Structure 1
Amino acid sequence: MSVARQRISSGSSFEELAGYSRAIVDGDWVFVSGTTGFDYKAGTISPDVVEQTHQCFRNIEWALGQAKAGLKDMVRIQIHLTDAADFKAIAPVVGQYCREARPANTTVVAQLIDPRMKIEIEVTARRDMSGPPDRPGRNR
């Protein structure tokens, strides 16, 4: 049975400007775009890299939830930091959110589009669609 592709948008001005989606659901796979520490509801970003990391995961968790998935479903995470010295501060935060899933991880140092951004995280998840049809998250 073929499952239609679903686009998930957070309403971010970046998504509209560059013509992309916060996440794409394709069958059991969920691809979450690079997500920064912007609080999209408030339209703000903290200057603190640790708080930006927490906000990245809140944004990612929201997108995964829209896809009927969760952080436990992550299989791959790619982290982009603007300063390698920040790794020591953000590693325990990443561990907090990734401990259950233990996804494959790549972390690189790169310049980001907006100088206020200190971290950007991209996630791939695979939804667990096993179990009874009335199981939360099951949509087949």
Structure 2
Amino acid sequence: MTSRQLISSGGPWEERVAYSRAVVQGDWAFVSGTTSTASDDVAEQADAALATIAAALEQGGFSMADVVRVRYLLPDAADFEACWPVLRRWFGDVRPAATMQQCPLIDPAMRIEIEATAFRG
């Protein structure tokens, strides 16, 4: 039986909503939707979210190079292009499968939410 590791970033939502920042199951890591409100700038929010994702992956023994799937959720699709330089910096050589979806987020201050799946094999 493969062990399951629950990873927390210590954020308040994790306890309130009963979820983990990431779950590692065998060679897979599933990182929950990650946001930031540290800045109003969507690109800065994306960078902060990806840094949180990288830290969660590292805690589980993964790296951003292991990311095979990423999903970007934005309330305003027009904001996505401003994130491209940040995404290239984090994923330029990794080039995971990706989806961008326009949808409302739980807090209007959040301009992007990012979730990721990683595999080490």
TM interval, shorter chain, is over 0.9
What SS is found at the alignment partner of 2:106?
A: coil
1:72 pairs with 2:65: yes
1:48-127 → structure 2 map (5 Å cutoff): 48-127=41-120
Deviation at 1:74, TM superposition (A): 0.3
Verify the 8 A CA contact 1:8 1:24 in the aligned structure 2: yes
Count the aligned residue pairs.
121
Root-mean-square deviation over aligned CA pairs: 1.0
Structure number with higher helix proportion: 2
Gaps of 5+ in 2: none
Query: Percent of aligned pairs with the same residue?
Result: 49
Runs of 4+ in 1 over 6 A off after TM superposition: none
Letter in 2 for 1:47: D
Distance of 1:95 and 1:37 partners within structure 2: 19
How far apart are the structure 2 equivalents of 1:79 and 1:85? 13
Q: TM-score, normalised by structure 2?
A: 0.96
Unaligned runs of 5+ in 1: 39-44, 129-140
Q: What is the deviation of 1:5? A: 0.4
Cα displacement (A) at 1:52:
0.3
The structure with the largest alpha-carbon Rg is 1
What amino acid does structure 1 have at the position aligned with 2:28?
W
Distance (whole Å) between structure 2 residues aligned to residue 116 and residue 23 of structure 1: 23
Larger RCO of the pair (alpha carbons < 8 Å, separation 6+):
2
The 2-side partners of 1:66 and 1:100 are apart by 22
What is the CA-CA distance between 1:85 and the residue it aligns to?
Answer: 1.2
One-letter amino acid of the structure 2 residue matched with residue 73 of structure 1:
D
TM-score by length of 1: 0.83
Letter in 1 for 2:15: E
CA displacement 1:3-50 (0-9 Å, x = unmatched):
210000011110111000000000000000000024xxxxxx211111
CA contact 1:78–1:122 (8 Å) conserved in 2 = yes
The aligned residue for residue 21 of structure 2 is 22
